[in-house]
Chain A
Amino acid sequence: MSRIAEHPILGAPEKGRLVTFTYDGRPMQGYEGEPIAMALKAAGVMVHRYTAKRHEPRGIFCAIGRCTDCVMVVDGKPNVRTCMTPLREGMTVQTQDGVTAKVPEGGAPTDGKA
């Protein structure tokens, strides 16, 4: 479990309510208002996207919106920095492949070489 229940200095983290969103079509839970990337990280998701040229996996790198490596397709919009974007109930979050979703909504996964 990668959530810190009680921190020796900070105590218990202050979180919003638990909400459900979809990650590549699967329901997943996280806390409202926390960055999407944190909800994914807590759920064990490491790969946020595959690059356009070399089809290499990328995930969180800077976590403060600078490096743009954590971008995903959020509610149909590509290149959304998940480390900066607050999680909302019912969001659709998809692994990005190049600049499109790797798994089309309601469709079968592509081979990642699209």
Chain B
Amino acid sequence: MERHDLIVVGAGPSGLSAAIEAAKCGLDVVVFDECARPGGQLFKQIHKFFGSKEHKAKIRGFRIGEELLKEASDAGVQVVLNATVLGLYQEKEVLVRIGDEIRHVKGDAILVATGASENTLAFPGWTLPGVIGAGAAQTMMNLHGVKPGERVLMLGSGNVGLVVSFQLLQAGCEVVALVDAAPRIGGYGVHAAKVARCGVPFYLSHTIVRAEGTDHVTGVVIGEVDKSWQIIPGTEKHFDVDTICVAVGLSPMSQLLTMAGCDMADDPKKGGYVPVCDETGATSVPGIFVSGDVSGIEEASSAMIEGRIAGIAAAKYLGYVEQAAEENEVHALETSLDALRQGMFAPKNRGKDLRETEEGCPISQNLLRKGYLSDEEVFAYPGVRKIAGVHPVIECTQNIPCNPCQDACPKGCITIGENITSLPVVNPDAQCIGCGMCVASCSGQAIFLVDEDAGADTATVTLPYEFLPLPKAGDKGQALSRSGAPLCEAEVAGVRSAPAFDHTNLLTIRVPKAYAMRARFFQPMEGGCAEWANQWTVPETSAPSFRGPMTIC
């Protein structure tokens, strides 16, 4: 029978990381993956990752995937694609289907990194074509260049729902609403804010009543829910949509471990049925290890570190590394992993209704309920200071593990400190040169450069812009508020793009001085602004939706 020192199931971020570390320790490693290409979900992740430099922060997910594949190839890891593991038997024997052939392969150690599958939600009409998972939307637009739909309703305000909503806008789709049955937005406030400022309305405490259509989705009805999750009669709202995107969480895909006889536990904090394992990923069956989402739903960044830890642990189990060396390496990785598991979204804080940041700032309830900070609230945070001349305004208001902005500033304007979940502090004495590196480095797109002294009556606001077509200097349009409501006429003063910005363009708009701290997005337009002028006083709740880059109204 074919045998290997280590068989890794799953060539996603975690499995590849494990295989790399094990191979570097001298193990003969084979990785099986059922897909036609390696990398798992990383190649669908086009946003910049969070964390610090060691976690590959501010690098887009698919670039991290490319780096990982190169590292695996350099380490001599053998990755077998279109190889579906159908079973994991006692004595660490794997049943794998490769093409139309069934093989039994034996591993002295096994690492299961099968990741997760998407949860679904049943509602009338949920089987209609046009109701899709958020992962499906990402697969279509980011891997295959096909728009999932023209008008989309997103269900789920966790990071997946928020990130995919933004990606839909980037792909040229219209997102008509973001809906969640929970009373608070589940994902990062910065992710919500960048969707909200494009004009996408958030409906918290709402769920889908039904999808409409005969052969495919043509509409959707949502309604407000009461405390026992029942629809409150009379609160129904209808939207014309062709696509309903469901992002209601992930479940560990742990069936292979159940089959192998590992001790399992149903842990809602980890997303479902997971193997019982120690901090190195060792399960109750000696020689079977786990890492990544299969052992508890987290982010790709932590899945990669868990993989490296488990790869080294497997090497030690087989006697390829000394105990002391293993402890050293694992300890360093665990410190790095621990840094990612801090802050208000840490696994230990899941479900808690936190009211204050670690610094004692109030956590914005508007941000949690509507997706944006109010104009008044924004001044409560240490990244927002009134300073003469051009300066960064950092609307980062929740403790999340991320610090690239601190390293990005060449002038020391921004301080986060040792604890990477701390809110960034803008130093009023440092001299900002307006280079914009902080704007482009912020994975949450929460940094703006504001200059209230740009002209006699005008101010400039520099904002991150990741849409096409890219406006050019002199273009006219309107400035949008944090909620995406039209504010005032705006003119593009300049656009900066640079390889170092990695596709985050810096758009500088000129607005009346009074709007310097309110204008946070730009909607370009053709022709004059006359027909819009009457919109600029409308209440924020009736903001028209930003229609994405393809249609400009």
Chain A positions within 8 Å of B, measured between CB atoms, are 2-4, 6-10, 12-13, 15, 34-35, 38, 41-42, 46-48, 56-67, 69, 83-84, 86
Q: List 14 A-B contacts (CB under 8 A).
A: A2-B150, A7-B468, A8-B467, A9-B46, A38-B140, A56-B127, A60-B132, A60-B140, A61-B132, A61-B133, A61-B136, A64-B35, A64-B135, A65-B35
Per the bound structure, the CA–CA distance linking A7 and B147 in Å amounts to 11
Q: Does B117 contact A (CB under 8 A)?
A: yes
Per the bound structure, the CA–CA distance linking A64 and B39 in Å amounts to 13
B140 touches which one: A8, A48, A57, A63 (CB < 8 A)?
A: A63
By the criterion CB–CB under 8 Å, are A59 and B129 in contact?
A: yes
By the criterion CB–CB under 8 Å, are B466 and A8 in contact?
A: yes
Q: A57-B216, A63-B140 are in contact. List 18 more A-B contacts (CB 8 A).
A: A2-B149, A4-B146, A4-B147, A6-B468, A7-B145, A7-B170, A8-B466, A9-B60, A10-B62, A13-B144, A48-B129, A57-B128, A61-B131, A61-B132, A63-B133, A64-B139, A65-B34, A84-B36
By the criterion CB–CB under 8 Å, are A10 and B46 in contact?
A: yes
Q: A4-B172, A60-B129, A61-B131 are in contact. Are A86 and B142 (CB under 8 A)?
A: no
Nearest Cβ distance between residue A50 and chain B, in whole angstroms? Answer: 10
Per the bound structure, the CA–CA distance linking A79 and B127 in Å amounts to 17
By the criterion CB–CB under 8 Å, are A8 and B117 in contact?
A: no
Enumerate B452-502 residues with CB–CB distance to A below 8 Å.
Answer: 466-468, 470
Contact partners of A42 in chain B: CB under 8 A: 146
The interface size bin for chain B is: 35 or more
By the criterion CB–CB under 8 Å, are B132 and A35 in contact?
A: no
By the criterion CB–CB under 8 Å, are B129 and A8 in contact?
A: no
Contact partners of B140 in chain A: CB under 8 A: 38, 41, 60, 63
Per the bound structure, the CA–CA distance linking A66 and B215 in Å amounts to 22
By the criterion CB–CB under 8 Å, are B146 and A41 in contact?
A: yes
Q: How many A-B residue pairs have CB under 8 A?
A: 101
By the criterion CB–CB under 8 Å, are A58 and B127 in contact?
A: yes
Kindly report which residue of chain A lies nearest to residue B140, judged by CB atoms: A63
Q: Does B549 contact A (CB under 8 A)?
A: yes
By the criterion CB–CB under 8 Å, are B136 and A64 in contact?
A: yes
By the criterion CB–CB under 8 Å, are A86 and B36 in contact?
A: yes
Nearest Cβ distance between residue A11 and chain B, in whole angstroms? Answer: 9
Contact partners of A4 in chain B: CB under 8 A: 141, 145-147, 171-172
Per the bound structure, the CA–CA distance linking A4 and B147 in Å amounts to 6
Q: Does B118 contact A (CB under 8 A)?
A: yes
Contact partners of B343 in chain A: CB under 8 A: none
Per the bound structure, the CA–CA distance linking A31 and B146 in Å amounts to 12
Nearest Cβ distance between residue A112 and chain B, in whole angstroms? Answer: 11
By the criterion CB–CB under 8 Å, are A35 and B144 in contact?
A: yes
Enumerate B186-235 residues with CB–CB distance to A below 8 Å.
Answer: 214-216
Per the bound structure, the CA–CA distance linking A62 and B36 in Å amounts to 16
Nearest Cβ distance between residue B126 and chain A, in whole angstroms? Answer: 9
By the criterion CB–CB under 8 Å, are A8 and B503 in contact?
A: yes
Nearest Cβ distance between residue A8 and chain B, in whole angstroms? Answer: 5
